[in-house]
Chain A
Amino acid sequence: MPSPTVQQPQADEQTGPLELDDWCRCALDFEREIAKAVIGQNRAIRLLTIAVFARGHVLLEGDVGVGKTTLLRAVARALGGAYERIQGTIDRMPSQIIYNTYHNQEGKPRVAPGPVLRHGSDLSVFFFNEINRARPQVHSLLLRLMAERSVTAFNQEHQFPHLLVFADRNRIEREETFELPAAARDRFLMEVEISAPSDEKSRRELLFATRFHDVDKLIASLKDGVLDYRRLNTLANVIQNTIIVSPALERYVLDLWKAIREPASAGIQIANVDVNRMIAGGSSPRGMSYLIRAARVAAWLSGRDMVVPEDIRDIFHECMAHRIFLTPVYELRREEIVRSLIADVFAKVPAP
């Protein structure tokens, strides 16, 4: 399986011995810091932490007002570095992301760097709100930004070695929205679903504790830069090279992949679905290799030096569900079908 390489044009500013154990404690601190602002979302926080250490982009999905933006802002705050946020709108053009044109006080036209370029290579989190409201042209720009962590502007290539793209979209409306192209979706490491916390205690606190009323103050109360974002690329490489993926696990992942692509051959059965004609495509090699990256990080966060099938199972839905493309006849029931497909694949494929 080809292992994905992250372009790393700039050397890390700081070098030093990387103790994985110390960093693991750091990562758990990072999670705890975020959990102060976003309660009842421990799983989403863990997934975002995995994404941060796997250097992968994340798409959040969920209802309105469940805390997607707050969560991402909390992550950006705890991560440190520069943070930019734009809102997806139907009239936003790709160029507006890169530069602004305006008239200055003298009435002369001026060009200034846009949100992406403003912070130079320090940009660590780029947050795209309501990504499905932006036009496909914007999505294309995003494609390159995500895949190569670079854009070309003003006849110059700009690199963003520490960049993570977080995007969100709500599932309520479909009017005036553009479905993300498959290529763009495939570039997200994870698609995380956020829903309101289900336990009584969190709900009560969320509604009645005054600190949650003012999001800006809440985010500002978090410790800034729990992690040093500039060392994360190196750390990610160390993690990927240290955590063991055994031949047995490789076999298992290959079997999973085959079962997802050819469900009938693995004996998968889903009610009212013809599994032979269900899958249109997807579950790309890139997706599978992202999955392994994330699984290594998950194993590391669990304090293990080897990836076990539980790690794969834990993150499989978030890493793979958005990469599975169904035939149009089943697309409307997508959520339900993909969920049972994945559940059945894990019930049927033997590990090891």
Chain B
Amino acid sequence: MRSWLAIVFLLLSVGGSSAAIDAVNVYEPRKFGHFLGDTLERRVEVITSGNTELFTAALPRPGALTYWLDLVSIDLSEREENGRKIYDITLKYQIFYSALEAKQLDIPSFPLRFKNPNSVAPNGEAPSEPSDASQGGNYSATVPALRLVISPLRDIVLDDLMPEKTGDISDVMRPDAVPQEINVVPRERLLLASASALAGAGLLLLWHYAIWPFARRPKRPFTQADRQIRSLQSGGAGEAPYRDSLLILHRAFDQSAGRRIFAADVPEFVAQHQRFSTLLPRLKSFFESSQLYFFSDDRRAAEDRFPISDLARLAADLAREERSAA
């Protein structure tokens, strides 16, 4: 049971003053018998009246206060009763002082600040607070330091509970907890499975797009033709790129059908490869121009009717249809 300690900053307003700090009540825990790791709570109750308000932003913040003491938390609640404002402040501390013998230490004091403390400072000031309020009409109060007696833990343990132990630290301390081993085998398996699935999917993708090492995939003649024609166009090599492109595409048709495809075979070819049916007019036009190019004297007309850009586009479309057919 924590002791009730009323350190009353009795701030009685004089006469008809309308605003004042009426009281600051500090409820302290016991002052002795604290050990390393203990937590303790102090409660501070501040009562104001009129338009005087506690300046809550000035309250201490959780964190390390000294090397041996942390403020773990600070809770503030506010209520009104009979025209007065009552602030309840709960401060929770934790002690990190490893005492070798009983020792007195002080929880440091901290000030409370107020808004509109426009009352005249009372004569009976708080004993611990020689306030400077008298100068500026500003009044503040201080939560005083708390002196604690902190007891050593080791001797008690050693002497009373574990008499068989020596004073050696390794003997006294509990052995370190064995870390729980996390079983990674299922995850490794999962990783392996997903990695192989990824590799498989990657290979399938390469296969689908006929990229190395499947670049020479026999069932992707148009993909290869498309690539060759593009490299022909970009490279600009060869004395007759149009002728070479025509030949490349013809060979792709031949390979796709498994025999030589002539212009007259186009409808049959398309009937067998339904995917290309949307390209039929362009296929016909390609074969007609190719006939003109190779078998008549009029090469110029062939190139005008079906320019190399159309040819490259047709090859790309054929390659795309070929992929989506698979």
Binding site for B on A (CB under 8 A): 244-246, 248-249, 305-310, 313, 346-352
| Other-chain contact of B250, A249, A307, A349, A350 (Cβ < 8 Å) | A350
| Other-chain contact of B295, A307, A313, A347, A349 (Cβ < 8 Å) | A307
| Other-chain contact of B259, A248, A309, A346, A352 (Cβ < 8 Å) | A346
From known contacts A310-B264, A350-B250, A352-B247, infer whether A244 and B259 are also in contact, taking CB-CB under 8 Å: no
Least distance between B30 CB and chain A CB atoms (Å): 105
Please name all residues of chain B whose beta carbon is closer than 8 Å to the beta carbon of A346 when the two chains form the complex. 259-260
B262 at the interface (CB under 8 A from A): yes
B258 at the interface (CB under 8 A from A): yes
Least distance between B66 CB and chain A CB atoms (Å): 94
**A71→B165 CA distance, assembly (Å):** 128
| Other-chain contact of A248, B260, B265, B294 (Cβ < 8 Å) | B294
From known contacts A350-B250, A350-B251, A350-B254, infer whether A310 and B296 are also in contact, taking CB-CB under 8 Å: no
Least distance between A120 CB and chain B CB atoms (Å): 42
Q: Are B262 and A310 in contact (CB under 8 A)?
A: yes
Least distance between A349 CB and chain B CB atoms (Å): 7
Q: Are B263 and A310 in contact (CB under 8 A)?
A: yes
Q: Are A347 and B258 in contact (CB under 8 A)?
A: yes
Least distance between B137 CB and chain A CB atoms (Å): 109
Least distance between A252 CB and chain B CB atoms (Å): 9
Q: Are A313 and B297 in contact (CB under 8 A)?
A: no
Q: Are A244 and B260 in contact (CB under 8 A)?
A: no
B228 at the interface (CB under 8 A from A): no
Please name all residues of chain A whose beta carbon is closer than 8 Å to the beta carbon of B260 when the two chains form the complex. 309, 346-351
Q: Are A244 and B296 in contact (CB under 8 A)?
A: yes
6 A-B residue contacts at CB 8 Å? A245-B295, A307-B295, A308-B262, A310-B262, A313-B262, A352-B250
Please name all residues of chain B whose beta carbon is closer than 8 Å to the beta carbon of A352 when the two chains form the complex. 247, 250, 294-295
From known contacts A244-B296, A306-B295, infer whether A347 and B264 are also in contact, taking CB-CB under 8 Å: no
Contact size class for B?
10 to 19
Least distance between A306 CB and chain B CB atoms (Å): 4
**A168→B208 CA distance, assembly (Å):** 57
Residue in chain B with minimal CB distance to A313 = B262
Please name all residues of chain A whose beta carbon is closer than 8 Å to the beta carbon of B256 when the two chains form the complex. none
**A242→B53 CA distance, assembly (Å):** 116
B291 at the interface (CB under 8 A from A): yes
- The 8 A-B residue pairs whose C-beta atoms are closest, nearest first, are A347-B259, A248-B294, A306-B296, A310-B264, A352-B294, A306-B295, A246-B295, A310-B262
Residue of A245, A249, A308, A347 ringed by the most chain B CB atoms within 10 A:
A308
Residue of A248, A348, A350 ringed by the most chain B CB atoms within 10 A:
A248
Q: Are B294 and A249 in contact (CB under 8 A)?
A: yes
From known contacts A246-B295, A246-B296, infer whether A308 and B263 are also in contact, taking CB-CB under 8 Å: yes
**A338→B294 CA distance, assembly (Å):** 29
| Other-chain contact of B294, A246, A313, A348 (Cβ < 8 Å) | A246
Residue in chain A with minimal CB distance to B287 = A308
Please name all residues of chain B whose beta carbon is closer than 8 Å to the beta carbon of A310 when the two chains form the complex. 262-265
Residue in chain A with minimal CB distance to B299 = A246
Least distance between B194 CB and chain A CB atoms (Å): 46
**A346→B297 CA distance, assembly (Å):** 24
**A306→B247 CA distance, assembly (Å):** 19
**A351→B265 CA distance, assembly (Å):** 13
Query: What 1/0 flags go to B286-326 for Cβ under 8 Å of A?
Result: 00000110111100000000000000000000000000000
Least distance between B205 CB and chain A CB atoms (Å): 32
Chain B 238-284 interface residues, beta-carbon cutoff 8 Å to A: 247, 250-251, 254, 258-260, 262-265
Q: Are B297 and A244 in contact (CB under 8 A)?
A: yes
Q: Are B262 and A244 in contact (CB under 8 A)?
A: no
Residue in chain B with minimal CB distance to A314 = B264
Residue in chain A with minimal CB distance to B246 = A352
Least distance between B199 CB and chain A CB atoms (Å): 38
Please name all residues of chain A whose beta carbon is closer than 8 Å to the beta carbon of B294 when the two chains form the complex. 246, 248-249, 352
**A308→B260 CA distance, assembly (Å):** 13
Please name all residues of chain B whose beta carbon is closer than 8 Å to the beta carbon of A305 when the two chains form the complex. 296
Please name all residues of chain B whose beta carbon is closer than 8 Å to the beta carbon of A348 when the two chains form the complex. 260
Known: A306-B292, A310-B263, A313-B262. 16 other contacts (CB 8 A): A244-B295, A245-B295, A246-B297, A248-B295, A305-B296, A308-B291, A309-B295, A310-B264, A310-B265, A346-B259, A347-B258, A349-B260, A350-B251, A350-B260, A351-B260, A352-B250
**A246→B296 CA distance, assembly (Å):** 6
From known contacts A310-B264, A350-B250, infer whether A249 and B259 are also in contact, taking CB-CB under 8 Å: no
Least distance between A239 CB and chain B CB atoms (Å): 16
Least distance between A204 CB and chain B CB atoms (Å): 29
**A350→B250 CA distance, assembly (Å):** 9
**A309→B297 CA distance, assembly (Å):** 16
Please name all residues of chain B whose beta carbon is closer than 8 Å to the beta carbon of A246 when the two chains form the complex. 294-297
Least distance between A303 CB and chain B CB atoms (Å): 13
Residue in chain A with minimal CB distance to B247 = A352
From known contacts A308-B262, A310-B262, A350-B260, infer whether A249 and B295 are also in contact, taking CB-CB under 8 Å: yes
Query: What 1/0 flags go to B97-112 for Cβ under 8 Å of A?
Result: 0000000000000000
**A347→B294 CA distance, assembly (Å):** 19
**A113→B4 CA distance, assembly (Å):** 160
Please name all residues of chain A whose beta carbon is closer than 8 Å to the beta carbon of B296 when the two chains form the complex. 244, 246, 305-306
Least distance between B157 CB and chain A CB atoms (Å): 96
Residue in chain B with minimal CB distance to A351 = B260
Least distance between A50 CB and chain B CB atoms (Å): 16
Least distance between B47 CB and chain A CB atoms (Å): 106
Residue in chain A with minimal CB distance to B257 = A347
Least distance between A308 CB and chain B CB atoms (Å): 5
Please name all residues of chain A whose beta carbon is closer than 8 Å to the beta carbon of B247 when the two chains form the complex. 352
Residue in chain A with minimal CB distance to B290 = A352
**A245→B294 CA distance, assembly (Å):** 10
**A348→B255 CA distance, assembly (Å):** 10
Q: Are B262 and A351 in contact (CB under 8 A)?
A: yes
**A249→B292 CA distance, assembly (Å):** 12
